[in-house]
């Protein structure tokens, strides 16, 4: 039972995430086209779906919060309010908050109630017509409601004729909830007569309640406007002790408070507790001492070491990091598949079964005369198999738009943070690639887009000075090329400064001073660990981590990163990735009696060297002259301890391979051909073998190994490999 429920819950989270994406995307578009009613309706519908579903599952916090968003959206939709940047911003923030709420429910993690509360109040305030203030000065209004929040004790005895006039007390309560938070609602049923004495059209009930709200007494009174007459109504303002102090220190306080309270629950006791328990200190004294204790953030603010904004921002980053870490954990591995795809697959499997039974039928009473029938059936089987393979692969294929969808928001926020104007252009979103690849390229792409926004694009003033339009452009484009997918991240910013990179590289000792390097050798230097040419470190980028991570991640997927740049005009990063991780294009080669597969991606060319082309240095290190550049030669039979057919390079074949920017010539006996191979894991039943990336099943049913060029290089450098 509970399992079933969980299953539905998963579906809910998945669906809600989709709705949230729609809301977010819609809101971003809404900023451009505030009048688009269709768009508003779309957003509203998605928000409504989230509300409905979360209510159904009993996630009240989500439902209530979404309800507040919905109220505002409804006002926008009906034209009672217009979309201002402030409102859009508030709604976007609320979307983020909603995301956090959902993560919270999903992982059973605590949610930052303060943010939820603050946004709820803000939403309510904007909906209630105080929008201007909230939207014009969000930083102050953010902390204000909690500070100025008052409370009213309300006692209300409605007139007996309430129902006869078609009025519903529930409406009143709903109205009250709109402007604040209701608590301690009590109904007085003492006037209720016996059942046979009840007049259903008479109201016998009265209520007492407390309303916490930022609204004035007048506004609260106005709620009761229609029932004022003959009602016994008393509204008294009360002062609630406000636990949160004012100002931006609020959050700082809360952060550490939760931390300490958690610690005292699970961890060892705090020193204060121990002192109190042992009687050394009175509880009051301890509390007094604690109240004087300050948080790091507050102290920093006091010492003027940091501005409240900075602290607030740092806290926000911290929260985001936490959320991101949690989100990673919650990554779902499910995939949504079009039913049509599955139906087609079932049909194909049906055909396969028929072919199989025809074959086995043929096999039981086979005569040599039927060879042509056999061949025909086998051809049919081949067709079936190929088609099924294609279909199954296509199930894993997802449009890359899912990976792109996060960027409009990211770029919008970056633009705001950096004070730059950035237009994001996405194209080729429909390009399909393997889901695992999509999941894996998200982070590298984010890095690239961030870099483009932070380093690539100039400030508006700088751009205008250089006769460029004020707004910079970042283009993300995806397309198929051969068996690969290419993703380009292009900006029209300042471009890479060749001289600066070179100077830095010389300084770091990466290249020798005065070395003549081609562009293709210079630009990839920025992808070295710890290499950054940024003059100052910002919180976005410039620490020299990032590009190397991008490169590593992409290479782990069997892809490559290349850079094109024109100084002053812009930079283009091109990621070239295999369509899928499960199948690669490979070249089958032979050494002695063994067959290996070399990934096509790493092969640059293959040559049959002239006898004099291979030279040695210090008697052993072999080098080959490939059009003027000497490359080290690795004899595969040496590395793998095999018996080769050819020992003379002139008789053998040299494959020029590239890995992480390094080129080597690998000597093999023969090239057998090119084919697609399905990668099988070696680690599943064995362990990683150096120099081997994985295994595959060859045409004859035996196992063949896929070479790992990097690993080969490493073995070759270690010297003699372990003897077999």
Partner 1 sequence: MAAVTTLESSVKQPHQQSGGHSGAADGSQLLTFKLGDELYGVDILRVQEIKGYTTVTRIPNTPASIKGVINLRGTIVPIVELRTVFGMPAIDVTSFTVIIVVVVRDKIMGLVVDSVSDVLTIDRQDIQPPPAFGSRVDVSCLSGIAKSGDKLVALLDIDRLLAEGPASDGR
Does residue 395 touch partner 1 according to CB under 8 A?
Answer: no
Does residue 385 touch partner 1 according to CB under 8 A?
Answer: no
Q: Which residues pair with 210 in a beta bridge?
A: 153, 183
Q: State which residue, 156 or 640, has the beta carbon closest to partner 1.
A: 640
Among 159, 402, 692, 710, indicate the residue that binds partner 1 (CB under 8 A): 692
Q: State which residue, 195 or 722, has the beta carbon closest to partner 1.
A: 722
Does residue 681 touch partner 1 according to CB under 8 A?
Answer: yes
Q: How far is the CB of 362 from partner 1 (least distance, A)?
A: 23
Contact present, 714 and 692 (Cβ < 8 Å): no
Task: Match 């094109």 to its residue by tokens.
Answer: 564
Q: How far is the CB of 372 from partner 1 (least distance, A)?
A: 30
Q: State which residue, 295 or 635, has the beta carbon closest to partner 1.
A: 635
Does residue 702 touch partner 1 according to CB under 8 A?
Answer: yes
Give the integer Cα–Cα distance in Å for 175 and 181. Answer: 11
Which has the closest alpha carbon to 706: 622, 601, 568?
A: 601
Q: How far is the CB of 689 from partner 1 (least distance, A)?
A: 6
Footprint (CB under 8 A) of partner 1, residues 330-369: none
Q: How far is the CB of 685 from partner 1 (least distance, A)?
A: 5
Q: State which residue, 240 or 703, has the beta carbon closest to partner 1.
A: 703
Instruction: Give every CB contact of residue 530 below 8 A, 6+ residues apart in sequence.
Output: 508, 544, 545, 548
Q: How far is the CB of 434 from partner 1 (least distance, A)?
A: 19
Q: How far is the CB of 360 from partner 1 (least distance, A)?
A: 18
Q: State which residue, 400 or 652, has the beta carbon closest to partner 1.
A: 652
Q: State which residue, 156 or 705, has the beta carbon closest to partner 1.
A: 705
Buried b (16+ CB within 10 A) or exposed e, 583-607: bbbbbbbbbeebbbbbbbbbbeebb
Contact present, 655 and 631 (Cβ < 8 Å): no
Contact present, 48 and 70 (Cβ < 8 Å): yes
Does residue 285 touch partner 1 according to CB under 8 A?
Answer: no
Using the rule CB under 8 A, give the single segment among 34-42, 271-279, 337-345, 697-705 that binds partner 1.
697-705
What is the per-residue binding string for partner 1 in 629-668, x denoting contact by CB under 8 A? ----------xxxx--------------------------
Using the rule CB under 8 A, give the single segment among 122-130, 294-302, 410-418, 680-688 that binds partner 1.
680-688
Q: State which residue, 407 or 637, has the beta carbon closest to partner 1.
A: 637
Q: State which residue, 554 or 597, has the beta carbon closest to partner 1.
A: 597
Footprint (CB under 8 A) of partner 1, residues 296-335: none
Does residue 530 touch partner 1 according to CB under 8 A?
Answer: no
Q: 3-state DSSP call for residue 335?
A: coil
- In eight-state DSSP terms, residue 478 is E
Instruction: Give every CB contact of residue 472 below 8 A, 6+ residues apart in sequence.
Output: 420, 421, 422, 423, 453, 456, 457, 458, 463, 491, 492, 493
Structure token pair of residue 246: 């004012």
Which has the closest alpha carbon to 468: 459, 477, 476?
A: 459
Structure token pair of residue 684: 């599943």
End-to-end CA distance of the chain: 56
Q: How far is the CB of 690 from partner 1 (least distance, A)?
A: 7
Q: 3-state DSSP call for residue 346?
A: helix
Give the integer Cα–Cα distance in Å for 633 and 399. Answer: 41
Does residue 704 touch partner 1 according to CB under 8 A?
Answer: yes
* CA 285 remoteness from chain centre: 48
Contact present, 210 and 182 (Cβ < 8 Å): yes
Does residue 292 touch partner 1 according to CB under 8 A?
Answer: no
* Helices 113-125 and 138-148, packing angle to 10 deg: 100
Contact present, 490 and 465 (Cβ < 8 Å): no
Q: State which residue, 430 or 700, has the beta carbon closest to partner 1.
A: 700
Instruction: Give every CB contact of residue 279 below 8 A, 6+ residues apart in sequence.
Output: none
Footprint (CB under 8 A) of partner 1, residues 588-607: 594
Q: State which residue, 17 or 393, has the beta carbon closest to partner 1.
A: 393
Q: Give the Å distances, CA to CA, from 602 to 457, 479, 484, 673, 710.
A: 33, 20, 13, 16, 10
Q: Which residues pair with 667 in a beta bridge?
A: 635, 654
Does residue 38 touch partner 1 according to CB under 8 A?
Answer: no
Q: State which residue, 398 or 655, has the beta carbon closest to partner 1.
A: 655
Using the rule CB under 8 A, give the single segment among 76-84, 224-232, 354-362, 683-691 that binds partner 1.
683-691
Does residue 13 touch partner 1 according to CB under 8 A?
Answer: no
Q: How far is the CB of 337 from partner 1 (least distance, A)?
A: 23
Alpha helices in 456-583 (DSSP H): 460-465, 498-507, 519-522, 547-556
Footprint (CB under 8 A) of partner 1, residues 556-595: 594
Q: State which residue, 257 or 688, has the beta carbon closest to partner 1.
A: 688
Using the rule CB under 8 A, give the single segment among 80-88, 405-413, 545-553, 701-709 that binds partner 1.
701-709
Q: State which residue, 170 or 722, has the beta carbon closest to partner 1.
A: 722
Does residue 724 touch partner 1 according to CB under 8 A?
Answer: yes
Using the rule CB under 8 A, give the single segment among 115-123, 237-245, 312-320, 674-682 that binds partner 1.
674-682
Does residue 722 touch partner 1 according to CB under 8 A?
Answer: yes
Q: Give the Å distances, CA to CA, from 398 to 24, 529, 576, 580, 638.
A: 20, 32, 17, 11, 43
Number of residues that bind partner 1 (CB under 8 A): 28
Give the integer Cα–Cα distance in Å for 301 and 309. Answer: 10
Judged by the rule CB under 8 A, the positions of this chain that interact with partner 1 are: 594, 639-642, 680-682, 684-692, 695, 697, 701-705, 715, 721-722, 724
């Amino acid at each position: 039972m509970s399992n079933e429920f969980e299953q539905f819950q998963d579906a809910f989270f998945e669906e809600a995430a989709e709705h949230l994406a729609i809301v977010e995307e819609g809101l971003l578009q809404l900023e451009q086209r505030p009048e688009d009613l269709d768009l508003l309706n779309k957003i509203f519908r998605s928000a409504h779906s989230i509300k409905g579903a979360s209510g159904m599952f009993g996630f009240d916090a989500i439902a209530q919060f979404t309800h507040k968003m919905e109220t505002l959206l409804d006002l926008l939709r009906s034209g009672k309010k217009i979309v201002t940047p402030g409102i859009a911003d508030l709604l976007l923030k609320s979307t983020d908050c909603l995301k956090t709420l959902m993560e919270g429910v999903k992982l059973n993690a605590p949610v930052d109630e303060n943010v939820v509360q603050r946004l709820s109040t803000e939403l309510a305030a904007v909906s209630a017509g105080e929008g201007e203030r909230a939207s014009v000065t969000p930083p102050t209004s953010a902390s204000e409601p909690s500070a100025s929040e008052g409370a009213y004790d309300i006692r209300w005895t409605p007139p007996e004729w309430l129902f006869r006039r078609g009025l519903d007390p529930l409406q009143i309560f709903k109205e009250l909830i709109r402007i604040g938070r209701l608590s301690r609602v009590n109904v007085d049923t003492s006037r209720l007569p016996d059942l046979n004495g009840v007049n259903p059209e008479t109201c016998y009930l009265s209520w007492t309640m407390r309303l916490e709200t930022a609204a004035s007494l007048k506004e609260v009174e106005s709620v009761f406007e229609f029932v004022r007459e003959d009602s016994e109504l008393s509204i008294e303002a009360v002062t609630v002790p406000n636990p949160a102090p004012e100002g931006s220190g609020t959050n700082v306080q809360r952060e550490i408070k939760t931390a300490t309270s958690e610690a005292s629950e699970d961890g060892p006791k705090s020193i204060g507790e121990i002192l109190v328990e042992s009687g050394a200190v009175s509880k009051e004294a301890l509390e007094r001492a604690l109240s004087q204790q300050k948080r790091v953030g507050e102290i920093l603010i006091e010492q003027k070491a940091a501005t409240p904004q900075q602290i607030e921002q740092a806290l926000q980053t911290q929260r985001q990091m936490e959320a991101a870490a949690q989100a990673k954990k919650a990554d779902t591995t499910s995939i949504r598949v079009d039913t049509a795809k599955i139906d087609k697959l079932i049909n194909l499997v049906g055909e396969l079964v028929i072919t199989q039974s025809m074959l086995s039928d043929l096999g039981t009473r086979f005569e040599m005369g039927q060879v042509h029938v056999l061949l025909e059936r086998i051809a049919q089987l081949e067709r079936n198999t190929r088609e099924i393979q294609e279909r199954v692969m296509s199930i894993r294929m997802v449009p890359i738009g899912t990976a792109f969808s996060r960027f409009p928001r990211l770029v919008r926020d970056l633009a705001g943070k950096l004070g730059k104007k950035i237009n994001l252009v996405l194209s080729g979103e429909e390009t399909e690639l393997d889901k695992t690849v999509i999941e894996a390229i998200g982070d590298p792409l984010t890095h690239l887009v961030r870099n483009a926004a932070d380093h690539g694009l100039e400030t508006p003033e700088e751009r205008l000075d250089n006769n460029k339009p004020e707004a910079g452009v970042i283009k993300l484009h995806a397309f198929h090329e051969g068996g690969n997918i290419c993703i380009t991240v292009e900006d029209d910013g300042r471009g890479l400064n060749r001289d600066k990179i070179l100077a830095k590289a010389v300084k770091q000792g990466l290249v020798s001073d005065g070395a003549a390097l081609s562009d293709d050798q210079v630009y990839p230097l920025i992808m070295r660990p710890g290499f950054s040419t940024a003059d100052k470190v910002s919180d976005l980028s410039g620490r020299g981590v990032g590009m190397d991570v991008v490169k590593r991640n992409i290479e782990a997927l069997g892809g490559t990163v290349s850079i094109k740049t024109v100084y002053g005009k812009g930079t283009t990063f091109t990621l070239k990735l295999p369509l899928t991780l499960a199948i690669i294009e490979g070249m089958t080669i032979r050494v002695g009696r063994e067959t290996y597969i070399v990934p096509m991606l790493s092969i640059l060319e293959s040559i049959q060297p002239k006898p004099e082309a291979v030279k040695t240095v210090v008697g052993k290190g072999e080098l080959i002259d490939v059009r003027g550049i000497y490359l080290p030669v690795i004899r595969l039979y040496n590395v793998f301890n095999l018996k080769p057919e050819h020992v003379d390079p002139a008789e053998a074949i040299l494959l020029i391979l590239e890995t992480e920017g390094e080129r080597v010539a690998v000597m093999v006996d023969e090239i057998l051909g090119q084919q697609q191979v399905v990668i099988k894991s070696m680690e599943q039943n064995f362990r990683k073998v150096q120099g081997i990336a994985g295994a595959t099943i060859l045409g004859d049913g035996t196992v063949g190994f896929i070479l790992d060029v990097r690993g080969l290089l490493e073995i070759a450098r270690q010297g003699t490999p372990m003897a077999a």
